[in-house]
Amino acid sequence: MSGQSLLVPGRISPARAVPSAIPRPEYVGREAPSPYQGPDVQDPETIERMRTAGRIAARALAEAAAHIEPGVTTDRLDEVAHAYLCDHGAYPSTLGYRKFPKSLCTSVNEVICHGIPDSTVLRAGDIVNLDVTAFVGGVHGDTNATYLVGGEDAVDEESRLLVERTREALARAVKAVRPGRRVNVIGRVIESYAKRFGYGVVRDFTGHGINSSFHSGLIIPHYDDPNATTVLQPGMTFTIEPMLTLGTHEWDMWADNWTVVTKDRKRTAQFEHTLVVTDGGAEILTLP
């Protein structure tokens, strides 16, 4: 594993403004979102709006990722994603969600998820996950990916393979989605693949139902959870977002109550798509 020093919190800049004409999710300005009371299966009109939200999220992610290079701060990546979302009429779903202060999550090296963009400067050899969600048309589209700072030659092989294999774990999980199967088939596929390389699979942070609600209450574990018995049905919309680690799946949380790091401080990678179950499998909604 890379011998670079562990991450420490940086300075967080003020929250960025969103034009008043862009509709906000209902939770903005509140302590927490209202509980979702709707169905897991969405109608065709809602799914079409989610295609739009997912496409904008994917393009915002790609735009921010294009600015990843040594010397760039994670706050700068937040600025880029925020501008792209606003320019396309979308609200950054993370901004104000349970008081999260930024417009995307940036999780570097040992950060599993929910890293807050700040003055942290990316270094050659780092890996960084960007997690972007767009709210537009009354629905959310959620996606993330992990990138190599400085390119393949700058990142150690162990970290590079972790990133590559986490991407593959997501792809395999998406292919496993079929109507009539139980949700735990998703985690079974991810966990069995990760075990081939001795990776940890994070258990306490999961995929989730998504639609007009950022997190609808439907849980998508990334390990083979025997309690995940919900049967997949056409029209169900949710995320799959495996988090694999070079060591333990256990974690600690920083004092900011958001940033989740591996307990052994070994590196971790994550990839995510929002998808809808179809008659024949799954359609990814977060493609650019």
pLDDT at 267 (0 to 100): 98
Q: What are phi and psi of 74, to 5 degrees?
A: -65, -25
Tell me: pLDDT of 1 over 60: no
Q: What are phi and psi of 179, to 5 degrees?
A: -55, 140
Please tell me the distance from the alpha carbon of residue 207 to that of residue 241, in angstroms, as a whole number: 5
SS3 letters across 49-68: HHHHHHHHHHHHHHHHHCCC
The residue among 137, 247, 261 whose CA lies nearest residue 204 is 261
| b/e map 197-209, b = 16+ CB within 10 Å | eebbbbbebbbbb
Residue by residue, DSSP assigns 200-250 as EE--SS-EEB-SSSSS-S-EE-SS--TT--PBP-TTBEEEE--EEESS-S-
Give the model's confidence band at 217: pLDDT under 50 very low, under 70 low, under 90 confident, else very high.
Answer: very high
Give the angle 194-111-102 at the CA atoms, nearest 5°.
Answer: 125
**DSSP SS3 for 113:** strand
pLDDT in tens, 62-71: 999 999 999 9
pLDDT in tens, 32-75: 999 999 999 999 999 999 999 999 999 999 999 999 999 999 99
Tell me: pLDDT of 283 over 80: yes
The residue among 15, 11, 287, 23 whose CA lies nearest residue 143 is 287
Tell me: pLDDT of 159 over 80: yes
pLDDT at 174 (0 to 100): 98
| pLDDT cut 70: percent of the chain above it | 99
pLDDT at 125 (0 to 100): 98
What average pLDDT does the chain have?
97
Q: What are phi and psi of 167, to 5 degrees?
A: -60, -45
Q: What are phi and psi of 278, to 5 degrees?
A: -115, 175
pLDDT in tens, 118-154: 999 999 999 999 999 999 999 999 999 999 999 999 9
Please tell me the distance from the alpha carbon of residue 71 to that of residue 181, in angstroms, as a whole number: 46
Tell me: pLDDT of 5 over 90: no
* 201 contacts 243 by C-beta, under 8 angstroms: yes
pLDDT in tens, 247-260: 999 999 999 999 99
Please tell me the distance from the alpha carbon of residue 143 to that of residue 245, in angstroms, as a whole number: 19
Give the model's confidence band at 3: pLDDT under 50 very low, under 70 low, under 90 confident, else very high.
Answer: low
